[in-house]
Amino acid sequence: MFHKKYSILIKAGKVLIFRDIVYKSNVFKQFFTYPVFLILFLSFIGAMGFGAVVKYHYDGGKNYQFLQKPVMLIASVPIKFRQMIMYKTFNLNKIVNKPLILTKHKDKKRFEQFIPNKRNALLVLPRYDHSISRSVVDVVDLNNFEVIHTYKHDIAEMNDQVTNTEEFPRIKIDYSPIRFEYRHPLLFSDGSLTSIYRLPYKIDFCSNLEWINDEEIFHHSKMLDHEGNIWAGGKMNPKSKYVKKYSNEDFSDDSIIKINTDGKILFNKSVTEILIENNIVANNFALTTSLSKEFDPIHLNDIEPAFIDTQYWKQGDVFLSSRHQSSIIHYRPSTNKVINYITGPFAQQHDVDIISDKEISIFNNNNFFVDNEHSEVIIYNFETNEFRTLFNDQLQKNNFKTETEGLSHIFNDGALMVEETNHGRIILFNNEGEKEWEFVNKDKNGDIGPVDWSRVIEDELFIEQFKSLVENKKCTN
């Protein structure tokens, strides 16, 4: 009897389960009709297409602007919403191009001196000030860390003088005053200053514009050579011969450009062309990298000229830093020869400096897949062919890491200054590795903005001349 009742219950349960399955199946069929299927299918295709357009845009693609513009507008909505919360405003005009407020060092002081030490040196400090929504260049006396002069020129007036709309079609948007940043400014003894933000320009001591050069797109650092000319990165347009033959128009054809102090181009050579002509990469390098969707395979970010002959280089040689090849290229423009092609324990570096007659320093962003928590300063010795790190323990202790940009400067007495560009911080260690001071680019409201490749001047005559200009300043702006 018991088994009979149990059997009936099991059968009843099976019937209920079956009825439940049938019910759910009917509900599923009612919901998953052809129109719903079509909508889901098209949504899936649309999502893939949307993602493809976003990736194409960030890969540097220039075609299909009629698709890129609306897609990127939609993709930017979450970012804009976040910025509205961060900047506490619904006015998109105030934040659309403004650099983000940085937060890593929000709990630190703007400036803190740990070891008193007067230094007869100037710090040329390009920085973004959120309180005035623009960039400035402060010249800081490292004896007391006081700002003795500030450059702040009329950016809108400069943009109005740009006539090369092919190279700079969005000059008043992309380089508007609220977005513009001074990059690695170069100071002259007469008080004038030259810098680059996609185009080179020069302003006088009172921030009046002297000239611009809109012939080419320029980028990254700028350094004086032994003849008083300026080396900077550029982008070839039209493309160099190998790039033009093997790649599409989206390929970034980085070049090294030499200009004089009046802005005239004296030399312009494609880095890809240099590598091909020296048998370092294949003739179709531009094609193979483009096929793998790498449109910026060189990413030149620094040029360091040699001032004197040594056993390991000649006056006029240049050291090129290629971020995306993780290499330092020792190049001789006079013969078009690559003397050394240096790779080693560094990844996606951003700065190379000659520091002795046989050594160079390399700012290693350290973007390896593992053990990449901190950036480093690496010294390469040409005599021994060996690498060593400088004050690595101190950098790790100070949680020093910038994934992009960044630089270092080794003082005449062996002290080390490092710039954590991504987070708006500069640290100075003395030659014993002790922290002398730390600066975080906070404005009067405590908001942190980026710093953009500062520069140290230790030339005593230069410093004396510049301070004389400051004392006799007659600027009206």
CA 55-56-62 angle, to 5 degrees, is 150
Alpha carbons 212 and 101: distance in angstroms, whole number: 30
Per-residue model confidence (pLDDT) at position 261: 95
What would the mean pLDDT of 6-34 be, rounded to a whole number?
52
Domain parsing of the chain, residue ranges: 2-94, 111-471
What would the mean pLDDT of 442-454 be, rounded to a whole number?
96
Structure-model confidence comparison of residues 137 and 20, the more confident one:
137
Per-residue model confidence (pLDDT) at position 29: 56
Structure-model confidence comparison of residues 37 and 88, the more confident one:
37
The CB density around residue 119, as the number of other CB atoms within 10 Å, is 21
Q: Token digits for 101?
A: 């407020």
- Whether residue 92 contacts residue 327, with contact meaning beta carbons closer than 8 Å, is answered with no
CA distances from 258 to 63, 200, 224 (A): 31, 11, 9
* Sheet with 407-410, side-by-side order of all strands: 111-113, 435-440, 425-429, 416-420, 407-410
What would the mean pLDDT of 313-317 be, rounded to a whole number?
98
What's the CATH class of domain 111-471? mainly beta
Q: Please check the confidence at residue 96 and state whether its pLDDT lies above 70.
A: no
The residues that bridge with 451 in the sheet, in sequence order, are 127
Alpha carbons 113 and 152: distance in angstroms, whole number: 27
State pLDDT tens for residues 182-238.
Answer: 999 999 999 999 999 889 999 999 999 999 999 999 999 999 999 999 999 999 989
What would the mean pLDDT of 109-125 be, rounded to a whole number?
96
Structure-model confidence comparison of residues 336 and 41, the more confident one:
336
Return the closest-CA partner of residue 379 out of 404, 403, 413, 410.
410
What would the mean pLDDT of 396-401 be, rounded to a whole number?
97
Alpha carbons 418 and 375: distance in angstroms, whole number: 10
Structure-model confidence comparison of residues 369 and 302, the more confident one:
302
Alpha carbons 388 and 345: distance in angstroms, whole number: 9
Q: Token digits for 267?
A: 């030399």
Alpha helix stretches (DSSP H) within 278-400: 285-291, 392-397
Q: Please check the confidence at residue 310 and state whether its pLDDT lies above 90.
A: yes
Per-residue model confidence (pLDDT) at position 78: 74
Residue 287 binned pLDDT confidence (cut-offs 50, 70, 90): confident
pTM: 0.82
The CB density around residue 147, as the number of other CB atoms within 10 Å, is 12
CA 266-267-268 angle, to 5 degrees, is 135
Per-residue model confidence (pLDDT) at position 236: 92
Half-sphere exposure of 311 (CA within 13 A, CB side): 8
Q: What is the mean pLDDT of the chain?
A: 88
Supply the DSSP symbol for 365.
Answer: -
Dihedral angle computed from the Cα positions of residues 167, 173, 176 and 182, in that order, rounded to the nearest 10 degrees: -50
Question: How far from chain centre, in Å, is Cα 398?
Answer: 22
Amino acid (1-letter code) at residue 198? R
Residue 3 binned pLDDT confidence (cut-offs 50, 70, 90): very low
Question: Can you give the length of the chain in residues?
Answer: 477
Residue 95 binned pLDDT confidence (cut-offs 50, 70, 90): low
Per-residue model confidence (pLDDT) at position 1: 47
Per-residue model confidence (pLDDT) at position 36: 67
Per-residue model confidence (pLDDT) at position 15: 46
Q: Please check the confidence at residue 144 and state whether its pLDDT lies above 70.
A: yes
Structure-model confidence comparison of residues 84 and 322, the more confident one:
322
Q: Output phi, psi for 300, to 5 deg.
A: -65, 125
What would the mean pLDDT of 410-426 be, rounded to a whole number?
97
- Whether residue 290 contacts residue 297, with contact meaning beta carbons closer than 8 Å, is answered with no
Amino acid (1-letter code) at residue 80? K
Residue 32 binned pLDDT confidence (cut-offs 50, 70, 90): low
Structure-model confidence comparison of residues 98 and 263, the more confident one:
263
Q: Among the listed ranges 134-143, 262-271, 287-296, 398-407, which one has the minimum average pLDDT value?
A: 287-296
Per-residue model confidence (pLDDT) at position 9: 42
- Whether residue 117 contacts residue 170, with contact meaning beta carbons closer than 8 Å, is answered with no
Q: Token digits for 133?
A: 């929504």
Alpha carbons 192 and 153: distance in angstroms, whole number: 12
